[in-house]
Every structure is written in C-alpha cells, then in structure tokens.
Amino acid sequence: MSQDVTPLYVADVSAFTKALRKSLSETDTFPGHAAMLAMVAKAAGYRNHQHLKAEQPKTPELDELALKRALRVFDDQGRMIRWPKWTKVQGLCLWPFWARMPAHQDMTEKEVNEILKPGLTFGDHVLLRRSLIDHKLATRTIDGRTYRRIEQRPTQDALALMDRLKSR
C-alpha cells in the first residue's frame, strides 16, 4: 500500500461516526485495510476510497521555466547579479530578500538597505526596495520612513528557488 497522505475533512463528526458504526455492524469480521478505507470514505460522503483521493486538491507544479530564469540572475554566492526582464521572475527573485527581512518588525529605510545591499552586485538596492512594495512583499508608510515585511507563506516556486540558492 502506498504511503500517500489523503487528508479528510468531516463537516459533521456525529453523522460520520453513525455511518461508520453502521458499516462496521454490517460486517461479520473485522474489515481489512482496504475495506476499512472504503468504509471511512463512504461515511464521509464519498463513493469509495478512490473517489476520496480523486477529490483532493492537486499540489501546484513548479514553474520550471521561471525557476530556471530566476536562478540565472543569481551568482554562486546567491547574490543577484542583474534584474530579470520577466515580471513573474522579478517577483520570484524578491523572495530571498523577503526572507532576510525580520518578521513583525518595523525598519527604517537604512536598515532595509543594509539587508538588500549584500544580496546584490548590480548596485540598485532602491529598485529592489520599491519592487518589494510593488509585489506586496513589504509595506512602507506614506512618508517612507518605516518599512515592514508582509507576513505570508512563500509560494512553491519561491521555496524551491530559496532551497536551490542555499545548495549552491
């Protein structure tokens, strides 16, 4: 049997347990693994276990082209050597800088610059700072004095990019 994880959401636990108990009472012997999976799936409102698995949301696949293009703009030390042309790749390349910013902390423009400058070689940290705002990875006050990282879960592509940069 495979080790795939199949999450199960049960809206009404009471109805679920009643249906499962009824299924169990109809059998003379204790059911095997496959029969038990089928009973649980039916009690949760699915036709069978395969139907339950088919209804699970698919994990998004990595955008290998964007990831490949993003990796090209970083050197072997993980520093950005140029600004990418594609907007999607630009947003992807900002995630490593987002990860360097402290969570739940207000920063001055100077502090943000000190975080960004070591991560690039082309010298335009202002472009990165503005792009973090544009791509909704950070916020700043209207007067531009206070910056803050926007807390969110990185995308699958961003996680893959950061992992590959770490392994260089």
Per-residue pLDDT tens, the chain, 168 aa: give them: 456 677 777 888 888 888 888 888 888 888 888 888 888 888 888 899 888 888 877 767 889 999 999 999 999 999 999 999 999 999 999 999 999 999 999 999 999 999 999 999 998 999 999 999 999 999 999 999 999 999 999 999 999 999 999 988
pLDDT (0 to 100) of residue 23: 87
Contact at 8 Å (CB) between 52 and 6?
yes
Show me where the domains of the chain are located: 13-54, 64-166
Q: Tokens representing 85?
A: 């042309």
To which H or E segment does residue 139 belong? strand 138-140
- Helices 87-100/64-72 angle, 10° precision: 70
What pLDDT was estimated at residue 78? 93
The pair phi, psi for residue 139, each rounded to 5°, is -125, 160
User: For residue 138, what is the enclosing H or E element?
Assistant: strand 138-140
Least Cα distance to 79 among 133, 117, 111, 112 occurs for: 117
CB distance 71 to 161 below 8 Å: yes
What is the pTM for the complete model shown? 0.66
pLDDT at 1: 47
